[in-house]
Each structure stands twice: as C-alpha cells, then as structure tokens.
C-alpha cells in the first residue's frame, strides 16, 4: 500500500518554508502539444545545448526520472527586485541575489524534512534546473500559471520573474491540481516585438518557442565561442537578458519580492570592470558562476563595441 498525503497540509508546509506558491500534479507524460520538444529540437533551436537532446523522453515523463513516481510538487519563489542596475551595461535580474539553485534546494530539503515529520515513510527527490525535467511545464501542469508568449512560465500574481523547482515522489496525494486554464497573454505581443533579435517563435500548434541561436541570454551565458555573432543585439546585457520580461504587463504589475541594497547594487554595477580575481569572488554562490571570466570580457567588449558604452 503506497502512502497517501494530504495536499492542503503540504501547501501549508511549503508556505512555511518560504515558497510563494505550490501546485501538486500527478506524474504523467507531457504531450507534444503541451511541450513541443521534438519540433524545437528538429528546428535546431537548442543551438549548442546538446544536453537538451539527451533524455528527451525523460524530460516529458518524470516517472522515467524517479522510479515509481506518482506526484510532482511544483514550487515558486518570485525574485523581482525593487529596482534595477543603472548604466548601460547590466545583468539579468535573476542573478542579483544568491544563486537560486542553492536557495531553492535548501528550502526544498527543509520542506522534505517537514513532510517526513508528518509522514515517516515519505521519500522524494528535489530538482532545480539540474535534471531533465521541465520546470515551466510542470508549474503549468500543477495549475499555477501558463507558458507566456516569451516562452517563460508566467504566474498570475508574480509574473515570469520566478524561480521554479520540483519535488518528485512515489507518494500518492489526496488531491491533484488541474493544469492551468485561466487568463493568458491573449493578443499581447509586447515581448515578441521587444526582442531585438527576433528569437521568439511559435510551434506548429501555436505553442511559444525560443530560438536560442538568436537569444541574448543564450549567447551571453551558454555560448562558449571566443566572440558573439556580430548581428546579435545584446542591448548592453553582459549576462542573461530581461528585455522580454521587462515589457510584460504581468511583470510590470507584479509586486517586488527582493530588495536590492545600495552596496549590492554598486557591486553589481562594478562587474564590467572586474578583474578575474574580483569576478571569481563576485560569482561565488551566484548565478554568475555559470559563465567563465573570458565570457564576461567577451560580452562586455561586444556591448561596448556596438553601443560605445564607456
């Protein structure tokens, strides 16, 4: 007999651990109409992210990731700061604070312990963007929001500036949330029109798709080449990109969830001038650790050459 858990209690425990929303979905296979992975890969939109080609079926079905999985607990922590960096050169706002992988994992492990205190036989594995499981699509499947036209998960209250994570377990729950069916982007195309590189496309069935080859975030982080494509317009971003998020009405109306203090702001704004030692210190326990120092210098030089930034 497998374990049956009270869903309402788990959502209360998730809130106590600092998660702003929690949805619970039955572990099952995501369909191509819901997650057009095959079409995206066949079009070459993954660029050099060849890891996306591996375990493609596992990305759709968490039961292949965790043996006996019956449930996916999807969790949200918003990160919209109360202000942004000044000046021409900037980084994506999700990297303003502590590395979200570390923060989310810490909270998720505490949540697992809290559940174990209520259900001694509870076993689970947490995931934060580090395994073949689609955070965005499970957040939708768990009823918390939708995939926006910018291809990001959009929460009706917090917008797309959200860290996402999942806890996958073999336990059964007494209630499962239905996939989100509420309001969505409708006819709004602000993100599509704002993208300077025309990276946002759609699948054959009308699902949003992102062509990484044209995306500033991909090129400033994942692209390991010595130089960026000359025609890529980064608009001054040297790590990531927020252009499609900054114009989104749901982000504009979303409440701030993080205070960027003066010292942290000044430190971030000094990043383009950092030497390698300073960069290593700044990127420790930060999402900035996703890039190497040569990439930072490459990205800064690309932005300065294109925009004459000083």
Q: Which residue has the higher pLDDT, 17 or 310?
A: 17
Domain count, the chain: 2
Question: Do 166 and 254 belong to one domain?
Answer: no
pLDDT tier at 157 (50, 70, 90 boundaries)? very high
Q: Quick one: average pLDDT of 110-139? A: 95
Nearest to 61 by CA among 26, 25, 28: 28
Asked if residue 149 and residue 225 are part of one domain, the reply reads no
CA distance 241 to 219: 10
223-268 pLDDT per residue, tens: 999 999 999 999 999 999 999 999 999 999 999 999 999 999 999 9
DSSP alpha helix (H) spans, the chain: 7-16, 37-42, 56-60, 100-118, 135-141, 190-194, 216-221, 243-246, 249-252, 262-269, 276-283, 293-307
CATH number, domain with residue 20: 3.40.109
Tens of pLDDT along 44-83?
999 999 888 888 889 899 999 999 999 999 999 999 999 9
Q: Are residues 151 and 213 in the same domain?
A: no
pLDDT-based confidence at residue 1 (cuts at 50, 70, 90):
low
The active-site residue out of 82, 129, 177, 242 is: 129
For residue 78, the cross-strand partners are 162
Residue 218 has pLDDT above 90, yes or no: yes
Where do we find the tokens 């209630």? Answer: 175
Q: Give mean pLDDT, residues 106-132.
A: 95
Average pLDDT of the residues in 10-34: 94
pLDDT value at 126 more than 80: yes
The answer to whether 129 is a known catalytic residue is yes
Per-residue model confidence (pLDDT) at position 116: 97
For residues 274 and 249, state if they share a domain: yes
* pLDDT for the residue 308: 59
Instruction: Report if residue 88 sits inside a domain.
Output: no
Of 119, 141, 173, the residue at which a domain comes to its end is 173
Above pLDDT 70, what percent of the chain? 98
Residue 85 belongs to a domain: no
* 3-state class (DSSP) for residue 126: strand
Map tokens 């994506």 to a residue: 92
- Check pLDDT > 80 for residue 183: no
How close are the terminal C-alpha atoms of the chain, in Å? 66
Among 127, 148, 173, residue at a domain's last position = 173
Residues 8 and 157 in one domain: yes
Among candidate residues 112, 146, 173, the one where a domain is terminated: 173
Helix, coil or strand: residue 39: helix
pTM of the model: 0.94
Domain that residue 128 falls in: 4-80+99-173
């Amino acid at each position: 007999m497998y374990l049956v858990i009270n869903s309402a209690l788990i959502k209360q425990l998730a809130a106590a651990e600092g998660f702003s929303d929690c949805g619970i979905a039955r572990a099952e296979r995501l369909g191509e109409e819901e997650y057009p992975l095959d079409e995206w890969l066949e079009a070459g939109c993954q660029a050099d992210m060849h890891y996306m080609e591996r375990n493609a079926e596992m990305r759709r079905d968490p039961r292949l990731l965790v043996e006996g999985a019956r449930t996916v607990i999807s969790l949200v922590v918003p990160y919209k700061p109360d202000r942004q960096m000044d000046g021409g050169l900037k980084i994506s706002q999700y990297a303003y604070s502590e590395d979200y992988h570390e923060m989310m994992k810490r909270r998720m492990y505490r949540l697992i312990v809290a559940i174990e205190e209520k259900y001694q036989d509870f076993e689970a594995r947490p995931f934060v963007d580090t395994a073949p499981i689609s955070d965005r699509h499970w957040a939708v499947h768990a009823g918390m929001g939708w995939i926006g036209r910018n291809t990001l998960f959009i929460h009706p209250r917090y917008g797309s500036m959200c860290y996402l994570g999942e806890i996958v377990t073999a336990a059964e729950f007494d209630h499962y949330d239905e996939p989100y069916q509420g309001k969505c982007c409708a006819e709004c195309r602000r993100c599509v029109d704002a993208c300077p590189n025309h990276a946002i496309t759609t699948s054959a069935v009308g699902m949003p798709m992102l062509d990484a080859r044209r995306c500033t975030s991909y090129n400033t982080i994942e692209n390991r080449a010595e130089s960026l494509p000359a025609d890529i317009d980064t608009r001054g971003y040297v790590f990531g990109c927020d252009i499609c998020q900054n114009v989104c009405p749901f982000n504009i109306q979303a409440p701030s969830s993080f205070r960027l203090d003066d010292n942290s702001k000044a430190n971030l704004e000094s990043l383009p001038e950092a030497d390698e030692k300073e960069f290593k210190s700044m990127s420790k326990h930060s999402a900035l650790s996703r890039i190497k120092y040569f990439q930072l210098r490459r990205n800064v030089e690309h932005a300065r050459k294109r925009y004459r930034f000083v």
